[in-house]
Amino acid sequence: MQSALRSRTDVQRKTDSMHAHNHSVAPAEALTGGERQAAAKKSTLVSVAVNLLLTAVQIAVGVFAHSSALVADGIHSLSDLVADFVVLLANRFSHLAADRNHPYGHSRFENAASLALGVLLIAVGIGMLGNAANKFADPSLIPRVHWYALAVAMMALVAKESLFRYMLAVANRVKSGMLVANAWHARSDAASSLVVAAGIVGNLLGWPLLDPLAAAIVGFMVARMGWNFSYDAMQDLMDRGLDEESVEAIRAELGETPGVLNVHDIRTRKTGDLAIIDAHLLVDSHISVSEGHQVALQARHRVMKRFAVADITIHIDADLADGPENLGLPPRQALLEELNRHFPDAPLRLDQLRAHYLDGRLELEVELDDDKDARRGALLVMAPPAAVDALRVCARLREAVIKN
């Protein structure tokens, strides 16, 4: 029995010192999808404004001040500006509702956007490295940098660090891995501005090679960040699962559901900032189908209350019903036909039979309409179907239907 249980919430990715992609699942927040989207859009627009200003100032001043490092940092800011528009695009399309062609929704648009952003950063970084290499090949082409390039580099450092702190706070609040990645990208930008400032200082003190060296370091940092984003996005697009700690937390929550004897075969995969979960729950072999489904509903509610997932499919297993040997046992309809050979005038109904398939054994319960049908009960006990290992016969004493 399977119960497909779906909800749309979010999955948080923890961050480390310079890398935003983790594979954990976090408790669902009270923010609605619309509130998350609005907060993400606002923070990204702030980033657009900052990067637009920095791009114009850094490239213009870098050209007039003869600082290749500052120009490289300006190009870096330009790549950030492009990245911001990629984030805005992803933020719009990843929140679209599920449809016929996308039954799990559009959350993986975020993964695709992160991949595109990573490829862009790799290309920009390689271009910066190539430009710096040309300067190293002919040091005579390196001019003396003007002092105001240093002032702009320090201004960019302060602006990018402030932007990082703002964007990370928003990203953690709305639990968006894509925004977390963009925030840490801003932190890497601040680090690159610090390197640029150091290179400009070196040039001003009489070491002209430090300026293109700073540009090369910035290029390497950009390319490395692009590789990290691209690699993580590709992993998520290839159905990377959650980390072991998150899986065990989900297993424990499912296992605490009343009626669940064991939990096994948990599989997880990621779609954007969401997780998709498959799990098998072991229950008592003799409970009804509806009770088994109720156990699945309760397990689903517990997981959805504590964790944030896009979809969870729960498969109910009977504790003694596992094994290929059950495949050879006859279905309930065949058992009914065999039993009714004894009762051609008053055949049994299918709803009077309950079959239990237990590790190659077949237990059959037959419920007679009343306790006066002793003859049929005796015949059943004396001549059970050949495939039946255990037979229980009972009588329905009274049936009451209560209507509210």
- Could you read off the pLDDT of 343-352 as tens digits, one per residue? 777 788 888 8
pLDDT at residue number 15: 33
CA atoms of 126 and 129, how far apart (whole Å): 5
Q: Domain end: 253, 287, 319, which one?
A: 319
Question: Residue 400 domain-assigned?
Answer: no
CA atoms of 159 and 157, how far apart (whole Å): 6
Same structural domain, 125 and 205: yes
Question: Would you give the DSSP letter of residue 13?
Answer: -
Question: Residue 116 domain-assigned?
Answer: yes
Q: Domain end: 237, 258, 275, which one?
A: 237
Residue 356 bridge partners (DSSP): 363
Question: Residue 37 domain-assigned?
Answer: yes
180-230 pLDDT, tens digit each: 777 877 777 787 788 888 888 888 888 888 888 888 888 888 888 889 888
Same structural domain, 376 and 337: yes
In our burial notation (b when 16+ CB lie closer than 10 A, e otherwise), range 34-51 reads eebbebbeebbeebbebb
Question: Residue 161 domain-assigned?
Answer: yes
Detail the DSSP E strand segments found in 273-384.
274-283, 311-318, 353-358, 361-368
Percentage of residues of the chain with pLDDT beyond 70: 84
Question: Residue 48 domain-assigned?
Answer: yes
- Its domain, for residue 210, covers 26-237
Same structural domain, 265 and 226: no
Q: What is the CATH number of the domain that holds 228?
A: 1.20.1510.10
Least reliable range by pLDDT among 4-8, 59-63, 151-155, 312-316 = 4-8
Q: Domain end: 319, 349, 384, which one?
A: 319
335-376 pLDDT, tens digit each: 888 888 877 777 888 888 888 888 778 888 888 877 656 667
CA atoms of 329 and 356, how far apart (whole Å): 10
Tokens 């660090």 found at: 161
Same structural domain, 107 and 203: yes
216 class by beta-carbon count within 10 Å (0-12 exposed, 13-18 middle, 19+ buried): buried
Structurally, how many domains does the chain consist of? 3
Question: Residue 266 domain-assigned?
Answer: yes
Q: What is the CATH number of the domain that holds 315?
A: 3.30.70.1350
Is residue 12 very low, low, confident or very high in pLDDT (cuts 50, 70, 90)? very low
User: Which among 22-26, 235-239, 279-283 has the top mean pLDDT?
Assistant: 279-283
At position 127, the amino acid (one-letter code) is G
Question: Residue 11 domain-assigned?
Answer: no
- Is 380 or 119 the better-scoring residue by pLDDT? 119
For 203, residues 6+ apart whose C-beta sits below 8 A from its C-beta are 67, 142, 144, 145, 210, 211
CA atoms of 399 and 270, how far apart (whole Å): 50
Question: Residue 9 domain-assigned?
Answer: no
pLDDT at residue number 17: 33
